Structure 1
Amino acid sequence: MTADQTGPVVRTPHGAVRGRYERGVAVFRGIPYAAPPFGPRRFRPPRSPEPWDGVRDAGAFGPTAPKPPYSEAFAPYLSDPVIPGDDCLNLNVWTPEPGPGARLPVLVWLHGGALTRGSSAVPVYDGSAFARDGVVCVSVNYRLGVEGYGLFPDAPPNPGLRDQLAALCWVHETIEAFGGDPGRITLCGQSAGAISAGALLAAPRTQGLVRRAVLQSGPPEVLDREKVRRMVRRMATRLRIPATAEAFAAVDRELLLRTQAEAGRLSSPVLGGPAFGIVVDGDLVPRDPLKALTEGAAARDVELLMGWTRDEYRLWLVPGGLLERVDRLGAVALAGAMARCRAGHEIPRGYRALHPDAGTAEIVGQMVTDHVLRVPLHRLADARPGASYLYEFAWPSRLPGLGACHALELGFVFDTGGVPESKRLAGEGAPQELCDAMHGAWVRFATTGDPGWAAWDATHPVRVFGDGVPHTAYGPRDAEVALWLAAPALPEPPRPSVPRAPGAELAAAMRRLRRSVGTTLRR
């Protein structure tokens, strides 16, 4: 616990920490908010860390949660540092003014990564610009994959989400000592982080902890418990062990990660499949979060900033040449997307009419993006007019084929477009004026609840951040959303029990397409 004696010192509930002054702000990294989740605590809810004596050094990022690496197809685009160690339930704080009395707005960041990858140590998530502009920024590590979202008969569900709740409680209790206002906490996340933020907003146990929320490219949702169980059973079969937390806890950590990566290789954001995710558990998540939020039973007074990127799907389909493969598969890929979204033929016909020049991959990608993301966010905004603000990020990456893809907006939100890790998605030449505009909107929202454009109403205003000056469009996705609202979802098809049962041909096509996806993801 040797500390640099020149840095700022703040006392937390478990002991004092010493940070660093960097670029005019105070930074504290790797502060434990819960005990290491291993040994007897593995697959269990988080517990408070052991208090420490003296001053703990908080100059470096703490350990990251166990996770497999990105495949060769995705690694060139996405940074995901690995920091070894058991004490992975930690967080980081950037503040312009440590110490009580400042009472500045607070932004708590939950990273994305499909609940299987990512961490708070990704350089794109550096919170210095928020602190520079008067917002205390906190970023959080939480358990991932089977460690955080495996479903077992002998352990409580959702330990990763419970980690996030523990971190949020730590912030509410402690952030005043770092210059923050516990009454002005904005919970913010992207992709899986946004899904997590939505689940926490709807959780009865978080009421009063959050003043505002930002959902970037992720709606409030839960997974079907059977899909999660199938992932656990796949792993258990490969490991030749029972599908219990006790048996999984005895497995070597690296072997468990390799097995998780192999079991999940056929899952895809476009085609679905077994996956790890948040489930209704009757406790922290008592019901579907989207229903709870749209029906007004939760977080009634929380202001929302929500949105998407124009070409979300291109991050899922461009790496490894999958975009071209989907175009070649044609009707098979379209049928797979229809099955994924439980959509009738009127949906792709409607998209063809709206986008007559689009190829199959674009139709598939936009259909799935609308179904899993834009339609739920529209529904949530419709349920909270006057307190919801929507945006679309439309600036295209300078790298071939990516367009305005999933996660591209992150360097603009954090004003970290100049770091090498942001350029892995954006390429060279990301406009600083767009960084200023988007980051400024997030700062205004965290500070006042108003990002700088009209709140959602019957005209459906959406702030578009693209080439040129940001502008407000009215109902830019209404035609596509209307297709889904007009056509009721089909029921989940039963899994065929014999080779020639109804739907067997489609099921076989889906398996072929998932194998194609899996081959790409392994590269």
Structure 2
Amino acid sequence: MTQTSTGTLVEADTTAGRVRGAWRGEPGTAGASAAFLGIPFAEAPVGELRFAAPVPHRPWEGARDALDFGATAQRGDPGVTLIPEPSVPGESTLNVNVFTPAPAPTAVGEGLPVLVYVHGGGYFAGSPASPWYDGAAFNRDGVVTVSVSYRLGFDGFGWIADAPLNRGVLDWLLALEWVRDNVAAFGGDPARVTIAGQSAGGGAVLALLGMPKAQPLIAAVYSISGAAADVSLADAEAFGRRLAEAGGVEPTRAGLSRLSEERVLELQQKLTASVEGGNPLDGLRSFIDGGLSLGPVIDGDLVPMATVEAIRAGIGADKPLVLGATDDEFSMILDGAKDKLRWVPARYLLGKVGLKGGARSAYLAANREVTRRGTAAIVGRYLTDRMFRTLALRIARARGAAPTWLYRFSWRSPNFGSAVHCVDVPFFFDCLGAERVGAIAGEHPPQALADDVHGGAVAFVQHGDPGWSRFTDAAGTARVYDTPSRTAADGYAGVRPLVAP
């Protein structure tokens, strides 16, 4: 393969053809990197391919511009979101963005380590075109960065009688195969690929860690606030049949293809809506008990078993893993009710959201510091623990002696007064000056904390060790990201009353 550079443009070869990206900064100077945006790794999932497994993109002639983000599976205006994730119209939604400090082909074993990032969004929203996901800081520190798009919602994960299940998962796998086959042309080492993601993206990389077919494609995993779906086959089929019935069609590829993309999204939103009237506690109780309707389905084949079960069975045990969550992922939903809830006993309200008996007493005892902040704080912490932090602890324990590092992001945003969902992402990417970071992290987010979080991530991608002690169930060691950060024994002590021994 060859690579040429002309002015601010740079070209590289892929297995499907040549692509033309752009330098950010003067080539050869400190901090300069090149961006190749919207490279298709699969044919557009439209027409006959809409509900099919992804098909590798056919070759093209000449150099294809990779100067703008490709189309996203997310459609329309997503509204106000914690992370700016714009929608880009178009059909070719299966694409990758490559950010590299050294866009030149490398020999086997000589390339830079690679970070592949999977965006979040509950498996139904999100976009790889966020300015927060730019790989510039990782490039500066010697890491090639790739962000991937995949089919969302029903198109990606919905059950259809005669269509392959887990189409979004198949998209992840084909994107990883593209990285394996092409990243050396961008200066990366295909044998040193760390996959990372946040929220649903964090759940995605955990699912891939427990997936036999993904093992040859990954070397390490970094899960940020991972949310596992683990949708049962029965639940997936029931939802698919309900959606088809609501649309007045048969639950087949032919039937559902008669519905426009807009109509499927409309039906999907209606069927997955939270409790009418908007009671946040009722809605979250429903989510905790029932889980997500759309996401990776346990099909017994591609996804052989639930995430924790797969990891307990030893799948991916040779892969280093970092995982953790923020302390108060979704506490913000109770902010508007703080004044009213201060008069409601925390014990009573925890009972209303499902925590009762001895477990409730043990949980309150283990979280006295949070309880002192008020009823909204402790109930928000419980919801965070049930949705995110218990999963992190269960996976760390299920890994046994496998190389695992646990962390907590505890720095409280001055805008929210707590360590909320997504606040850690700009620290991971070291992009504190990016668009809308101030809206979640305040006008002066601490650079020292970004140095710590991002530095640990770089060390992990480069060397398979983030720089603090491995997790063992006996010690419970966890990195606590705060100002200052520290390494704590039994860092998830407040979560243990919710996790069976």
CA contact (8 A) 1:26 1:98 kept: yes
How far off its partner does 1:322 sit?
Answer: 6.4
Could you list the runs of 5+ residues in structure 1 that have no partner in the other structure? 487-523
Q: Distance in 2 between matches of 1:378 and 1:198?
A: 13
Correspondence for 1:93: 98
Structure 1 residues 166 and 269: CA distance shift in structure 2, 3 A: farther
C-alpha change, 1:146 and 1:398, in structure 2 (3 Å) is same
1:372-451 equivalences in 2 (<5 Å): 372-382=387-397, 383-385=399-401, 387-401=403-417, 403-451=418-466
Contact conserved, 1:194 with 1:215, CA < 8 A, in 2?
A: yes
Q: Does 1:349 align with 2:357?
A: no
Give the partner amino acid of 1:304.
Answer: L
Deviations 1:468-490 (A, max 9, x none): x211111122243134325xxxx
Paired AA for residue 42 in structure 1: R
Q: Normalized against structure 1, the TM-score is what?
A: 0.84
Q: 1:202 to 1:95 in 2, by over 3 A?
A: same
Is 1:184 paired with 2:179? no
Structure 1 counterpart SS, 2:499: helix
Partner Cα distance (1:266, 1:412) in 2: 31
Runs of 5+ unmatched residues, structure 2: 26-31, 276-282
1: CA distance, partners of 2:311 / 2:475:
21
Q: What SS class does the counterpart of residue 420 from structure 1 fall into?
A: coil
Partners of 1:219 and 1:377 within 8 A in 2: no
Residue 294 (structure 2) aligned to one of 276, 283, 288 = 276
Residue 491 of structure 1 corresponds to none
Q: Which moved more, 1:283-292 or 1:90-99?
A: 283-292
> By how many angstroms is 1:91 displaced?
0.5
Q: Tell me the residue number matched to 1:485.
A: 500
Matches of 1:315 and 1:161, distance apart in 2: 30
Q: CA deviation at 1:292?
A: 1.5
Question: Is the CA contact 1:124–1:421 (under 8 Å) kept in the aligned structure 2?
Answer: no
The residue type paired with residue 13 of structure 1 is: T
Q: 1:20 to 1:324 in 2, by over 3 A?
A: farther
Confirm whether residue 110 of structure 1 aligns to residue 118 of structure 2. Answer: yes
Change (3 A) 1:270 1:51: farther
Are the equivalent residues in 2 in contact too, given 1:67–1:144 (CA < 8 A)? no
Cα distance in 2 between the residues matched to 1:202 and 1:68: 33
What corresponds to 1:500 in structure 2? none
CA shift at 1:360, angstroms?
4.1
Q: Percent identity?
A: 37
Q: CA deviation at 1:225?
A: 3.3
Question: 2-side partners of 1:281 and 1:110: how far apart?
Answer: 22
Summarize the Cα distance change of 1:50–1:327 in structure 2 as closer, same or farther, 3 Å threshold. Answer: farther
Give the CA RMSD over aligned residues.
2.5
CA contact (8 A) 1:371 1:484 kept: no
> d(CA) in 2 for partners of 1:121 and 1:393?
24
Deviations 1:213-272 (A, max 9, x none): 001111555123344345434433443333333322221222322332222221755531
> C-alpha separation between the residues in 1 aligned to 2:87 and 2:322?
31
1:259 maps to 2:267:
yes
Alignment-derived partner of residue 285 in structure 1: 303
C-alpha distance 46-386 of structure 1, shift in aligned 2 (>3 A):
closer
| Cα 1:484/1:207, change in 2 over 3 Å | closer
Q: Do residues 370 (structure 1) and 385 (structure 2) align? A: yes
Offset of 1:203 from its aligned partner? 1.2
Which residue, out of 18, 21, 41, partners 1:19? 21
- Larger displacement relative to structure 2 (164-173 or 347-356): 347-356
Q: Which residue in the other structure is 1:304 paired with? A: 321
Map of 1:229-248 to 2, 5 A cutoff? Answer: 229-248=237-256
Pair 332,262 (structure 1): closer, same or farther in 2 beyond 3 Å: farther
What's 1:461 paired with?
Answer: 477
Local SS of the residue matching 1:19: strand
Q: Classify 1:329/1:111 alpha carbon distance in 2 versus 1 (closer, same or farther; 3 Å).
A: farther
Task: Give CA-to-partner distance per residue, 1:264-293, whole Å, 9 cap, x none.
Answer: 221755531452111111221112222111
Matched residue SS, 1:434: helix
Number of the residue aligned with 1:60 = 68
How many residue pairs are counted as aligned between the two chains? 472
Q: Which residue of 2 aligns with 1:490?
A: none
Moved more, 153-162 or 368-377: 368-377
Give the letter for the 2:360 counterpart.
P
1:359 Cα deviation after fit: 4.1
Closer, same or farther in 2 for the Cα pair 1:326/1:49, shift >3 Å?
Answer: farther
Tell which deviates more after alignment, 158-167 or 369-378.
369-378
Find the partner of 1:10 among 5, 9, 12: 12
Separation (CA, whole Å) in 2 of partners of 1:335 and 1:194: 29
| Whole-angstrom CA distance in 2 between matches of 1:194 and 1:447 | 20
Are the aligned partners of 1:67 and 1:257 in contact in 2 as well (CA < 8 Å)? no
Determine which of 193, 207, 217 is the counterpart of 2:201: 193
The TM-score normalised by the length of structure 2 is 0.88
Question: Aligned equivalents of 1:416 and 1:378: distance in 2?
Answer: 28
- Matched residue of 2:86: which SS? coil
TM-aligned CA deviation for residue 336 of structure 1: 5.2
2:153 pairs, out of 145, 156, 166, with 145
Name the residue aligned to 2:278.
Answer: none
**Aligned counterparts of 1:39 and 1:333: Cα–Cα separation in 2:** 50
Instruction: Provide the C-alpha distance between the structure 2 equivalents of 1:430 and 1:103, rounded to a whole number of angstroms.
Output: 33
Cα gap change, 1:220 to 1:263, in 2 (>3 Å)? closer
